Structure 1
Amino acid sequence: MGDTVELEDAILKRTSVRYFEERDVPEEDIRALIEAAIRAPTASGLENWKFVVFGSKKARENLYGLISEGMIRYYRAVNLPEEKIGKLGRRMYEHGMYRAPVYIAVFIDKNVRFLPGEEFDEPEFIWSVESAAMAIQNLMLKAVELGLGTVYIGVTNFPGIEEGVRELAGLDENHYLVGVIPVGYPKDEVKPRKRRKTLDEVLVFI
């Protein structure tokens, strides 16, 4: 258990960690992360989120393969030269980028909703994703307090890959994957990056 961290410190220290130590994360810490996550706002009080922890070696390796496939597909989509994609592959398979002792996949159950009727399908879905995203942020801030690193993986949402993650999680097609979060102790010194835009560039008062 890490020392108590002030909220402002946790917000400022949180950054994307892509390389992790091989040591295990205590189950009590994983539970603490999820406990923090489910304190997030949840649209209509539905709590229609599901947190699946990939901790066994086999489960982690299977999921890592899907993450790697998604990353390569992502860089091809932005027309990265194959030579650089090859370097990315080596960073992943030889140096362990995104290889973590624990992965937390966050899903929502689209069948659990509040408003009836097709006209509300889209807002209900958006609200559920927003709720899960806020839960993920709570999880990430709690991780800072516990001395853990996290990073958000979105490429697992690509067609074919999302279905693979869902199958590994043992969930049906009514569940939608919001994101996969690698969790572990940072391998290197954590150095939060500055934002490219200033506060005044993104803030509007009316």
Structure 2
Amino acid sequence: MSILFKRRSIRKFKNKPIDEETVKLLLKGAMSAPSAGNQKPWHFVVINDRNILNEIPKFHQYSQMLKEAPLAIAICGITENIKYPEYCVQDCSAATENLLIAITELGLGGVWLGIYPREDRIIGLSRLLNLPEGVLPLSVVSIGYADEEKEPIDRYMEDRVHYNKW
């Protein structure tokens, strides 16, 4: 359980690149997420081009940390020609959370940047990354070596737990 409590949203990064082997491990972790009917509708766009990273904050006001991050991964879902398209958002959200846990496990920092359901962000990222028709961008995760420390946190709230009925 410690990795779950240790995972925090990190928005400040050191100017240090992330090697390809680490990127592959992160993607393997993300792709180990569950999906409806095992359809795995996810696709990942690895972004390490400084020009692209600097463009995202122009249409996503809460993504300023990408100007420092050496890497980001966009999590996208295919919504056509799959058995359960209505679960694409959930499937890709599970992959996003797995990615965040993998980031923490590998000693990196990251933060989830929501794209879906904001139309301006969906259009902006789709154009920037040249996503094909039928591919929906759901999130971007900024990734890097943390340049800030945050203590593990217990977010358990007893008043949010109900047994059998509300």
TM-score by length of 2: 0.88
Structure 2 contact 44–74 (Cα < 8 Å) conserved: yes
Number of residue pairs matched?
163
2:163 aligned with 1:205:
yes
**Residues 121-169 of structure 1: CA deviation (Å, up to 9, x unaligned):** xxx32x1111111111111111111111111111575223311211222
Structure 2 contact 46–73 (Cα < 8 Å) conserved: yes
What does residue 30 of structure 2 align with? 37
2:130 aligned with 1:170:
yes
2:101 aligned with 1:101:
no
Higher relative CO (CA 8 A, sep ≥ 6), structure 1 or 2? 1
Residue 59 of structure 2 aligns to which amino acid in structure 1?
L
The structure carrying a bigger helix percent of its residues is: 1
SS in 2 for 1:152: strand
User: Structure 1 residue 190: deviation in Å?
Assistant: 2.6
* Structure 2 Cα separation of the partners of residues 43 and 155 of structure 1: 21
Residue 161 of structure 2 aligns to which amino acid in structure 1?
L
Structure 1 contact 157–177 (Cα < 8 Å) conserved: no
What does residue 79 of structure 1 align with? none
Structure 1 contact 156–180 (Cα < 8 Å) conserved: no
Higher Cα radius of gyration:
1
Can you give the 5+ residue segments of structure 2 that lack an aligned partner in the other structure?
none
Once the two structures are superposed, the pairs formed by residues 19-34 of structure 1 within 5 Å of their partners are 19-34=12-27
User: Structure 1 residue 191: deviation in Å?
Assistant: 2.4
Change (3 A) 1:46 1:59: same
Which consecutive aligned stretches of 4+ in structure 1 deviate over 4 angstroms post-superposition? none
What does residue 140 of structure 2 align with? 180
2:8 to 15, 27, 44: 15
SS in 2 for 1:151: strand
The structure carrying a bigger strand percent of its residues is: 2
Fraction of identical pairs, as percent = 26
Once the two structures are superposed, the pairs formed by residues 110-189 of structure 1 within 5 Å of their partners are 110-114=79-83, 124-125=85-86, 127-154=87-114, 157-189=117-149
Structure 1 contact 46–112 (Cα < 8 Å) conserved: no
Structure 1 contact 66–156 (Cα < 8 Å) conserved: no
Once the two structures are superposed, the pairs formed by residues 58-73 of structure 1 within 5 Å of their partners are 58-68=51-61, 71=62
* Structure 2 Cα separation of the partners of residues 62 and 147 of structure 1: 27
Residue 114 of structure 2 aligns to which amino acid in structure 1?
G
* Structure 2 Cα separation of the partners of residues 194 and 169 of structure 1: 37
